[in-house]
Structure 1
């Protein structure tokens, strides 16, 4: 019989062999992927003049492009196809995602729409008013007929699903409602023909190449059989992405017959004039659209102002084991969700001095907490603020916070400790981290007070980050560590896309000491909020920084996103 130490050695050797095998498979798959990409580059002569964005597949209207710098794939219109005649229509990604989900999960997506019936009928009544000037009740024949028309055209139903996903994630819509919710007006927008062409392209390209797409994000698969599963809009684990292995039979049944046949045969033919208008092309209608949009006057309202008129059809309870959420911006003094487990609140929780005596976990300070607390007259009158009353930034926090943000003290200021004390009274079971750390289930969480991305004061901010990280990391060199801050530490550890208007290319890491800390210590990831990145754009990603792979998480609150399950990500990284 083997001695215990020999058994232990055998276990270690087996683990080592398994790891080596896994690494070898990954390396082989990586080489296959690289060879595949390089062979695709050669197929398209236009790649000779493209130094970064290389075409690897295209058809008449769309192309699949690989970015050499970010090593990422995107599906792009080739420039002639118009998504929507509605000016400033921001729903495209939601509608493309809705299309994929409708094809993969038609029963669940139909139920999702039906669960919003009351909200939809409010949109329909408002749409009828925008078109005709007539006020109709929610139970009127006009509204009922418009509601039924949603389910009579599959491509229109996909659009409505996308609008509802946008509603649940970013707030109620108000502009151009008729074009979005009334079939009679929607057929003039060109969105259905766009979707038909997009669907044909994504099915064709996923059948041709080992990729997956959820309607926005595109991934090159390690193998032709790899699937993407996670919790999504329909509130249960499932495959969210289209691949060559996806079962499309049920989802295609509701499509117009000609489109269904085209997709089944994987060929692109003429647009389907029997069931929809032809695609809107810039080469045909570009000048007319320019004139229309030039004279367009938006009649939209802020989503927050409209929320009181719509009901929340989603559960407010969330059972994530480690629940990450930020930018809740509660208006009524209460958290709009509940979770009995460990929560990580990443700032900007409150616009109304929220109190929750049962919420457990950790909390880092965002910029809204500052102005929110000082707006309360009882808190503002406390003598502890006397040392700050003559500061310009303090006065503006009280009178006009938007003028104060760029002037806030960097996060080692004693002001934040007083803010922490006030927050602690409202969350007795939460640990407020003001440049502090806490260990939970073997992971160390370091909470840094970075209320804003102070790009114009980057040197000052990064000196602070380096000093505080070194102090806190030194307590234990080896423990897996996650860095949390409301604003991202810097661009390299941010979920914000370089294409965003909020992106500042100068907000990057320029401090050698920070790089060394990430290299020396067992830092496995970073969590931030602040930028209000919709969950549909992705809540986590893996990045390369300072000679290692790290995760980045940004989970913004919405009706359909009450938190990101961090424990799944941690279990993938830490056996």
Structure 2
């Protein structure tokens, strides 16, 4: 019988070999893509974003700086005539899920029947000014029409996916949910062209896409793994290995035939229904947007009128969630295991006596705690009452965020004490650490990303990390903070309007700590990145691979399973929460 250390050594060698093979395969695939640059003359004037595949309306672009892929529509193509329509990524994702898993996506829509009927009644009111009952013939007929046009059904699926992740919709409902009005938007012909392109490009190149993200596969036979909305066993990204037989049966006959006839290296034909082009209707749409009066409402104000059709029970072993911003005084999910609450949990003084795990302080915790008049009246706040940032926290919190004190201020210890009373089984980490199942979790208090005070913030991070890491260089360590530590360990896309390129690590002491200690991951919240855009990634930082996790709450995301990113040997240890010896 082999000794335990021999088995461990063999496992390590097997993993290293697998990683080496994967990296070699990825390099081959990447070289294949780069070899396509010369096929498109326009790449001579494109210094960063190189076209590697294109059709009449779409193109696949490779970013040399980020080594990333993206599908883009060409400049003349219009996605939607609806002003400021934010549903494109959801509808594209829905179209791919619908052709991969038509039965499950139909059930998803049907589970929302009551919510859809509310949308339909509101749509009819917005269009005609007449109020109709949910059980009226008008609403019933409109609901049935959803399932009579597959491209429209995909759109409704996407709208409900958006509803579940970002909250209820309110603007231009007729164009989104009434078939008669939707036909004027141009979305269906756009979607037909999009489907043809993604099927063709995934047949020709070793890539997969879920409708937004595009990934390079390390071989032609690798199955993509992407999931948000359906059963965990489902592959929701399209690749050359995807079985489309059942899904294509539901498409309009001309589109079905065109997709079935797609052959490798052969361009696809035009769709029967022409999409909207800027060259044809651009002036009309510009005038429409110019005179458009926004009438959308805050999704949080509409939540009470819609049902949550998804389970609120979560069984992740180590469950990461943030930015719940609960409005009703309670948590919207339950998990009996170990939870990592990454701040901004409450906007209504939530309390929960059952949830257990660790909790770091976000900016909403500050204003939320002080909104309780009984708490606010305590003398413990007297030292802060004349501070400008404290006054803003009480009267106008949004004005307070850039003025907040750095995380070692004694104010945060008082916030921690109040939170601890609301969550008696949670360990509130205010620049502290705990060990759970062989992993050390360091919780730093970074309520907001203070980019303009970066030097002061990073000095604080360096000092606290050094203190909390102490002398134990071997224990796997995960750093948790509400706002990200810096850009390098953040899930926020550089394309986001919230991204600040100056918020990068510029402190040599921090880099040294990451080099010297076994820091394996960073967890943050704050930036409301939809879970469907990705909840984790691996990055190269300070000469090592580190995971980054951001898991923003929504009806379809009650948490991210952190256990799958932790070393296997750690998860074999018995349950138990143990304080760090330096805590």
Task: Give distance in 2, aligned partners of 1:541 and 1:27.
Answer: 16
| SS at 1:507 equivalent | coil
Structure 2 CA distance for aligned equivalents of residues 223 and 572 of structure 1: 26
- CA–CA separation in structure 2 for the residues paired with 1:15 and 1:236: 27
Match of 1:517 in 2: 513
Shift of 1:35: 1.9
Name the structure 2 match of 1:535.
531
Pick from 64, 81, 84 the counterpart of residue 80 of structure 2.
84
Q: Aligned equivalents of 1:228 and 1:553: distance in 2?
A: 20
Q: CA deviation at 1:389?
A: 1.3
Distance across 2 between alignment mates of 1:455 and 1:573? 38
Partner of 1:66: 62
Cα deviation 1:224-256 (Å, max 9, x = unaligned) = 111123542124331011010100000000100
The alignment covers a number of residue pairs equal to: 567
Deviation digits for residues 455-486 of structure 1, max 9, x if unmatched? 11111001000110111112421111111100
Distance 1:241 1:289 in 2: 33
CA distance in 2 between counterparts of 1:350 and 1:325 reads: 12
| Partner residue of 2:401 out of 392, 398, 405 | 405
SS in 1 for 2:369: helix
Find the residue that maps to 2:383 and give its secondary structure. Answer: helix
SS at 1:388 equivalent: coil
**Matching residue within 126, 142, 146 for 2:142:** 146
- Counterpart CA distance in 2 for 1:173 and 1:9 is 57
CA distance in 1, matches of 2:11, 2:327: 52
1:207 pairs, out of 203, 208, 229, with: 203
| 1:480 equivalenced with 2:456 (yes/no) | no
Check the 8 A contact 1:540/1:552 in 2, yes or no.
yes
Out of 494, 498, 510, the residue aligned to residue 502 of structure 1 is 498
- 1:489 equivalenced with 2:485 (yes/no): yes
State yes or no: 1:363 paired with 2:353. Answer: no
The one-character-per-residue Cα deviations of 1:64-98 (angstroms, maximum 9, x if unpaired) are: 11111111100001111100000100000000000
State the shift of 1:316 in Å.
0.7
Q: SS of the counterpart of 2:382?
A: helix
| Residue aligning to 1:386 | 382
1:257 and 2:253 matched = yes
In structure 1, distance between residues paired with 2:485 and 2:331: 26
> Is 1:298 paired with 2:270?
no
Equivalent residue in structure 1 for 2:368, among 369, 372, 376: 372
* CA shift in 2, pair 1:10/1:387, >3 Å: closer
Post-superposition, which runs of at least 4 consecutive aligned residues in structure 1 deviate over 3 A?
A: 7-17, 571-575
Could you tell me how far apart the structure 2 residues matched to 1:352 and 1:231 are? Answer: 31
* Structure 2: distance between partners of 1:574 and 1:230: 25
Is the 8 Å Cα contact of residues 367 and 405 (structure 1) preserved in structure 2? yes
Give the 3-state SS of the residue equivalent to 1:245 in structure 2: coil
Q: 2:306 aligns with which of 302, 307, 310?
A: 310
CA distance in 1, matches of 2:501, 2:251: 44
The alignment status of 1:240 with 2:236, answered yes or no, reads yes
Residue 424 of structure 1 is matched in structure 2 by 420
- Which of 162, 183, 188 is matched with 2:184 structurally? 188
CA distance in 2, matches of 1:295, 1:230: 40
Residue 172 of structure 1: how far off its partner (Å)? 0.4
CA distance in 2, matches of 1:56, 1:440: 47
- Cα distance in 1, alignment partners of residues 5 and 383 from structure 2: 63
2:29 and 2:219 in contact (8 A); partners too: no
- After superposition, the Cα gap between the structure-2 partners of 1:514 and 1:141, relative to the gap in structure 1 and judged at 3 Å, is same
Separation of aligned partners in 2, 1:495 and 1:23: 23
- Give secondary structure in 1 for the equivalent of 2:108: helix
Unaligned runs of 5+ in 1: none
2:271 maps to 1:271 = yes
Task: For 2:76 and 2:541, locate their aligned partners in 1 and report how far apart those are by CA, in whole Å.
Answer: 38
| Structure 2 residue matching 1:239: 3-state secondary structure | coil
> Residues 189-212 of structure 1: CA distance to partner in whole angstroms, max 9, x if unpaired?
000000000000000000000100
Instruction: Determine whether 1:118 maps to 2:149.
Output: no
Contact 1:230 1:237 in 2 (8 A): no
- Could you list the runs of 5+ residues in structure 2 that have no partner in the other structure? 572-583
Mean alpha-carbon deviation: is it higher for 22-31 or for 238-247?
A: 22-31
Q: Does 25-34 or 484-493 show the bigger shift? A: 25-34
Q: CA RMSD in A?
A: 1.5
Deviation at 1:536, TM superposition (A): 1.5
Distance 1:424 1:142 in 2: 52
Distance in 2 between the 1:210 and 1:366 partners?
A: 41
Equivalent residues of 2:439, 2:570 under 8 A apart? no
SS at match of 2:14: helix
Q: Call closer, same or farther: CA 1:334–1:280 in 2, change over 3 Å.
A: same
Indicate conservation of the 8 Å contact 2:491/2:536, yes or no. Answer: yes
CA distance in 1, matches of 2:552, 2:4: 45
1:550 is aligned, of 531, 543, 546, to 546
Q: Determine the structure 2 residue equivalent to 1:28.
A: 24
Query: Offset at 1:104?
Result: 0.6
Aligned twin of 1:563: 559
Between stretches 259-268 and 189-198, larger displacement belongs to 259-268
Q: Is the 1:396–1:403 contact (alpha carbons within 8 Å) kept by the matching residues of 2?
A: yes
